[in-house]
């Protein structure tokens, strides 16, 4: 007997608008876009050079104490680096993404901010050739 599964999108967690508008006002030149994303606080596209100050701010002032995932996407002309950050206080994830050119794919390492990012960055380098500077 075949069973159907219905997936119901979850609303963004409480407080997401305050966090995202605060992030945009704190880093106006570095936030390229903010998208609502069901089940997450949101999806934030940022300038590659801003990854370290934004991640430090999120860890130190917004309680994102864990980097759950760093991954990459090959879009031919660019490589996208995607970060999933977890906040125990908020009980929610926030996604950050940035794009780097395919012919010189590198971005600063966040392993100094979240030690758990170390392995994920090495995998993104092995699979997609994305270099994480100062890893």
- Tell me the mean pLDDT per 10 residues along the chain, length 135: 60 75 96 90 96 98 97 97 96 96 98 98 97 94
Q: What is the CA radius of gyration of the chain?
A: 16
What is the spatial distance between Cα 92 and Cα 106, in angstroms, rounded to a whole number?
28
**How much is the pLDDT for 37?**
84
Query: 29 CB contacts (<8 Å, ≥6 apart)?
Result: 47, 50
Give pairs for 101-105: CB < 8 Å, separation 24+. 101/77, 102/74, 102/75, 102/76, 102/77, 102/78, 105/79, 105/129, 105/130, 105/131
**How much is the pLDDT for 38?**
82
CATH fold for domain 16-133: Beta Polymerase; domain 2 (3.30.460)
pTM over 0.85: yes
């Amino acid at each position: 007997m075949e069973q159907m599964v219905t997936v119901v999108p979850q609303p963004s967690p409480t407080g997401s608008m305050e966090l995202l508008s605060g992030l945009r006002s704190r880093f106006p030149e570095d936030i390229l876009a903010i998208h609502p994303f069901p089940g997450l606080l949101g999806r934030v596209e940022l300038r590659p050079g801003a990854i370290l100050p934004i991640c430090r701010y999120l860890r130190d002032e917004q309680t994102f104490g864990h980097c759950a995932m760093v991954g990459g996407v090959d879009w031919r002309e660019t490589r996208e680096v995607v970060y999933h950050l977890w906040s125990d206080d908020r009980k929610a994830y926030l996604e950050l993404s940035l794009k780097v050119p395919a012919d010189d794919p590198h971005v600063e390492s966040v392993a100094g901010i979240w030690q758990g990012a170390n392995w994920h960055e090495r995998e993104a380098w092995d699979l997609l050739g994305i270099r994480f500077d100062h890893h």
